[in-house]
């Protein structure tokens, strides 16, 4: 309740303070339209109060970004930056640019923000995630390693993000033991942080999947019988060459080579078109794994004719049709192989999680500016 002696400015400040508190609450409930409507009503009252206008524009940018309007989110965040530069404004501008596919411009904003606010950890995390999505994982790792955050960090979100992102980057680099040690150490320091527990659970599943794939690859590799006929061995070599050139996972190449041997047991052909058969076998593995068979794509990559690949593929498909579906999955599938999901006795109903998937941090620091 205000007294009649309160100045108009004081009344406005009190109302904006209440609104900012409400924005915090609405954000937790994801009521972004409510935030936007309230902020738009309040903005005209802050023409002479730049610090309050800045905070309202930050919330406007946050709401618009969450509602899928990156162009307007960028304009609001840029307006906040012009009034009062902050790491939060830089973060929201970069986020809007990423949503619009302008990664290079977003990186420029983040680097400029870090020059202005070198202690802004969330800008470092955002830049590291952007680099990782571009495949620049070692560069992202160096960036995260340069931040010194210990278990006594007062801001639990900052600590959780630092530990979680570092663990995920280590996993992306194949350094699984270090990744698990990192996340376990974070949990020992802060066992009550939900985000760390969720990250641990996700990484544990990916860690187990990684080792299951390695084990399956070893079993499949050691069980491959050598092929002595020049024609059949030529197809085997072409599978290897084509798979490597297409940068396919090792398990996919091995699955195609296993399929080739099983096919030969049933139909001992002596093909001349080695590359065409290799392309057809790899395409068949994709189909077994629940994907499509872009035969023309495989034919172009193998440098052979589509008709020859299609002819080989049809013969392989006829052979596969005689096998039980579960046998096909266990013998030749990669992504859907039941042996990679010990919690399911049969073929899993959903795609397995992709190793190294990054867990993104929240898009907004809950209204706080830096």
- The tens digit of pLDDT for each residue in 97-141 reads 999 999 999 999 999 999 999 888 999 999 999 999 998 999 999
Position 1 scores a pLDDT of: 47
Residue 213 has pLDDT above 80, yes or no: yes
**Superfamily for domain range 119-223:** Tetratricopeptide repeat domain (1.25.40.10)
Tokens of 69: 């309007």
CA distance 115 to 335: 43
Alpha-carbon span 82 to 97, nearest angstrom: 17
- Mean per-residue pLDDT for 221-240? 93
Report, as an integer, the average pLDDT of 201-208.
88
pLDDT on residue 363: 33
Is pLDDT above 90 for 174?
Answer: no
The CATH topology of domain 224-336 is Cyclin A; domain 1 (1.10.472)
Per-domain residue ranges of the chain: 119-223, 224-336
What per-residue confidence (pLDDT) applies to 136?
92
If 0-12 CB within 10 Å is exposed, 13-18 middle and 19+ buried, where does residue 136 land?
middle
Fold match between 119-223 and 224-336?
A: no
Helix (H, G, I), strand (E, B) or coil at 335: coil
Give the global pTM: 0.66
What mean pLDDT comes out for the span 32-47?
93
Mean pLDDT of 334-349: 62
């Amino acid at each position: 309740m205000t007294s009649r002696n309160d100045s108009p400015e004081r009344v406005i400040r009190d109302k904006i303070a209440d609104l900012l508190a409400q924005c915090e609450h609405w954000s937790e409930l994801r009521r972004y339209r409510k935030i936007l409507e309230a902020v738009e009503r309040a903005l005209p009252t802050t023409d002479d109060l730049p610090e309050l206008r800045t905070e309202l524009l930050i919330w406007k940018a946050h709401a618009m970004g969450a509602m899928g309007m990156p162009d307007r989110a960028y304009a609001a965040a840029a307006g906040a930056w012009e009034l009062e530069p902050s790491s939060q404004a830089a973060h929201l501008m970069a986020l809007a640019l990423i949503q619009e596919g302008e990664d290079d411009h977003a990186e420029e904003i983040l680097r400029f923000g870090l020059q202005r606010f070198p202690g802004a950890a969330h800008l470092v995390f955002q830049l590291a995630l952007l680099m990782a999505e571009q495949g620049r994982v070692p560069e992202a790792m160096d960036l995260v390693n340069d931040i010194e955050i210990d278990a006594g960090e007062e801001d639990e979100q900052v600590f959780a993000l630092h530990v979680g992102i570092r663990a995920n980057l280590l996993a992306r680099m194949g350094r699984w033991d270090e990744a698990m040690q990192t996340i376990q150490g974070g949990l020992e320091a802060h066992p009550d942080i939900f985000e760390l527990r969720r990250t641990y659970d996700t990484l544990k599943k990916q860690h187990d999947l990684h080792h299951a794939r390695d084990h399956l690859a070893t079993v499949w590799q050691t069980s491959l019988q050598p092929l002595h006929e020049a024609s059949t061995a030529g197809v085997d070599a072409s599978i290897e060459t084509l798979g490597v050139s297409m940068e396919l996972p090792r398990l996919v190449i091995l699955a195609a080579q296993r399929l080739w041997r099983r096919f030969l047991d049933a139909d001992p052909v002596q093909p001349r078109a080695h590359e065409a058969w290799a392309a057809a076998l790899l395409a068949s593995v994709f189909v077994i794994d629940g994907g499509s068979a872009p035969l023309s794509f495989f034919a172009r990559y193998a440098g052979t004719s589509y008709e020859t690949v299609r002819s080989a593929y049809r013969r392989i498909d006829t052979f596969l049709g005689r096998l039980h579906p579960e046998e096909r999955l266990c013998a030749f599938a990669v992504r859907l192989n039941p042996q990679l999901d010990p919690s399911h006795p049969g073929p899993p109903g959903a795609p397995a999680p992709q190793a190294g998937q990054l867990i993104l941090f929240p898009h907004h620091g809950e209204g706080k500016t830096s």
